[in-house]
Amino acid sequence: MDYFLTEEQQMIVDITRQITDEKIIPNRAELDEKHQFPREILNDMARADLFGLLIPEEYGGFGGNCFDSVLALEQLGRGCIGVGTAFAASSLGIYPILISGSEELKKKYLPPVATGEKFAAFGLTEANAGSDASGIQTTAVLDGDEWVLNGTKQWITNGGEAQVYTVVAITDRSKGARGASMFVVEEGDPGFSCGPKEKKMGIRASSTTELIFKDCRIPKDRIIGRQGTGFITVMKTLDSSRPGIAALGVGLAQGALDEAASYAKQRVQFGKPIIAFQAVQHMLADMAIGVESARALVYQSAKHIVAHPKDMSKASSMCKIYATDVAMKVATDAVQVLGGYGFMSEYPVEKMMRDAKILQIYEGTNQIQRNVVGQELNKEYAK
């Protein structure tokens, strides 16, 4: 369908589609098999100025918005969620600085991320703090002119590959949610290290590690925003980034539909291509309806967030839920259309099915997102 993109928006789509078709798709199977971080592809994306999409022009970026990011991530998701996640995680990592960072932090950290010279990562999740972010145990204590961090973050995307990390830590446990703050930690800071790469079911091209802080000392001006505002920044960050995860889901679903339809036209059974059978046609039709519906919701949600940045929680959660659930279903149905071949690694749909699962889990499980939507509805209908 025609979404009446502007010339600049179409340029974003064209650039990311070209990188996806020429760089990602030919290499995705090898990256997945070797659990290899796609540094060369990310460098190609940096040369195309894609890392600066969300960063204002005064800090060396493109000055784009949520919708621009969605357009790029959809194309990357069509190729490989692992590569798309590595790219998206860098944006996630700099969102706290964009949202709450001082001018000094923005000038220092945004330009090198905008050029792709440095990658970023976001450190929130811990062993006992997943859906319940208030369970964070990592602490930060002010000691003279330095903050001292202690604790461990778990399942951090771009861990070990990023140079800039935005990290949530407790600065005053007696204040509950108001006792968390955010900090910038750099690769090489004393007392900071990353664990080994996790072995994962999917998105194997992305790096996932622990972040380990043992008396990690950082300058006191590396705090993001005011002390005690960490959870506010976290919530705004995730509300801003979830449409990107939804867009990865749309892209993956489109890629799975493309593979299924192409195979169904070529696979001959009982003397004719299986796409001629109504049972297969209905499967493909439902897949196509799901993809286009998800795309429409994601695009509209992103546009709503751009127009109404103070009212984005419900739209952000709704599009994340729907698009990632669609991605899981379409990928599963694509495997079914391909039958035994769909179960083999020489065809990409089994990888898509493995990759799709994480979309329903990270950056807030879809069950938690339904809570968010329900709570927002409760507020609306209570008026």
| Torsion on CA atoms 164, 169, 172, 175, rounded to nearest 10 | 120
363 an active-site residue? yes
Q: Could you tell me which of 207, 210, 191 has the C-alpha nearest to residue 149?
A: 191
Q: Could you tell me which of 236, 259, 237 has the C-alpha nearest to residue 356?
A: 259
For helices 66-79 and 230-266, what crossing angle results, to 10°? 40
How many degrees, rounded to 5, is the angle at CA 69 between CA 65 and CA 73?
170
Query: How far apart are the C-alpha atoms of 278 and 339, rounded to whole Å?
Result: 16
User: Token pair of 349, please?
Assistant: 């749909």
With a CB cutoff of 8 Å and minimum separation 6, the contacts of 78 are: 20, 251, 252, 254, 255, 258
Catalytic choice (22, 74, 363, 380): 363
Which residues are the active-site residues?
A: 363
